[in-house]
């Protein structure tokens, strides 16, 4: 499976037009087999859409690309491919919450396996508080850089604050300061809202 996260830059106040046109093309070309999520940036850099794709192979990915060519007014886009790990082998679609926190961490060269082991140890008790619906790791770049992205849905921002306030009970985050400074170079957190027809919602 090929997992892809695409970030689309929109004109100011462009989300409504983009979502309407995307939904039309999405239904016309029957792209439901590939789309995992469509989100609007709510906290962070605004006027962006995020699409999360799961492609069976390169042919399916190319079909999606052709269907979406010139379908919407956008100012640019970037995408990156990811893989999953046995701990969370497949992203979870369905109704999970009204807001999604998406956290992107960049790691020091050579420390990806250490990050995976830390998550394997610490994530199961954390999941008793709220779900993590996706965990993606990039392949290491030639310079050894890598990143991972994790998706946390909540009912609302109050629910997020409540859960994160109790996370220490589950030994979360993994390794705390030692882990963060020894394995990670940077951490970014953003809040995204799912589109009404997003498979993750």
The residues spanned by each domain of the chain are 2-82, 99-194
Cα 35 from Cα 3, distance rounded (Å):
10
What value does the mean pLDDT take over residues 64-81?
A: 85
What value does the mean pLDDT take over residues 177-201?
A: 92
- Residue 146 binned pLDDT confidence (cut-offs 50, 70, 90): very high
Give the CA dihedral 154, 155, 158, 164, nearest 10 degrees.
-30
Confidence at residue 60, expressed as pLDDT on a 0 to 100 scale: 86
Q: Reduce the DSSP state of residue 180 to 3 states and report it.
A: helix
> In this model, does residue 190 exceed pLDDT 70?
yes
* Contact status, residue 106 vs residue 184, Cβ threshold 8 Å: yes
Q: Reduce the DSSP state of residue 174 to 3 states and report it.
A: coil
> In this model, does residue 42 exceed pLDDT 90?
yes
Confidence at residue 64, expressed as pLDDT on a 0 to 100 scale: 84
The residue with greater pLDDT, 71 or 35, is 35
Q: Average pLDDT over the chain, rounded to whole?
A: 92
| Euclidean distance between the first and the last CA atom of the chain, given in angstroms as a whole number | 22
Confidence at residue 39, expressed as pLDDT on a 0 to 100 scale: 98
Buried b (16+ CB within 10 A) or exposed e, 122-132: bbeebeeebbb
User: Looking at the chain, how many residues does it have?
Assistant: 201
**How much of the chain exceeds pLDDT 90, in percent?**
73
Phi, psi of 58 (to 5 degrees): -65, -30
Determine the topology of domain 99-194 in CATH: Alpha-Beta Plaits (3.30.70)
Determine the topology of domain 2-82 in CATH: Alpha-Beta Plaits (3.30.70)
Cα 181 from Cα 108, distance rounded (Å):
9
- Residue 32 binned pLDDT confidence (cut-offs 50, 70, 90): low
What value does the mean pLDDT take over residues 48-76?
A: 87
> In this model, does residue 56 exceed pLDDT 80?
yes
């Amino acid at each position: 499976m090929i997992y892809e996260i695409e970030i689309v830059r929109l004109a100011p106040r462009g989300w409504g037009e983009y979502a309407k046109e995307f939904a039309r093309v999405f239904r016309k070309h029957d792209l439901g087999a590939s789309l995992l999520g469509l989100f609007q940036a709510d906290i962070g850099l605004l006027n962006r859409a995020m699409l999360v794709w799961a492609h069976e192979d390169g042919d399916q990915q190319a079909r999606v690309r052709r269907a979406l060519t010139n379908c919407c007014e956008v100012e640019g886009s970037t995408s990156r491919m990811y893989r999953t790990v046995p701990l969370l082998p497949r992203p979870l679609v369905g109704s999970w919450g009204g807001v999604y926190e998406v956290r992107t961490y960049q790691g020091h060269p050579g420390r990806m396996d250490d990050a995976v082991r830390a998550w394997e140890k610490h994530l199961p008790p954390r999941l008793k508080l709220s779900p993590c619906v996706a965990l993606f790791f990039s392949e290491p770049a030639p310079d050894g850089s890598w990143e991972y992205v994790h998706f946390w849905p909540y009912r609302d921002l109050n629910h997020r604050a409540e859960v994160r306030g109790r996370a220490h009970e589950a030994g979360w985050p993994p390794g705390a300061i030692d882990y963060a400074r020894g394995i990670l170079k940077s951490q970014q957190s953003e809040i995204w809202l799912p589109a009404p027809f997003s498979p993750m919602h």
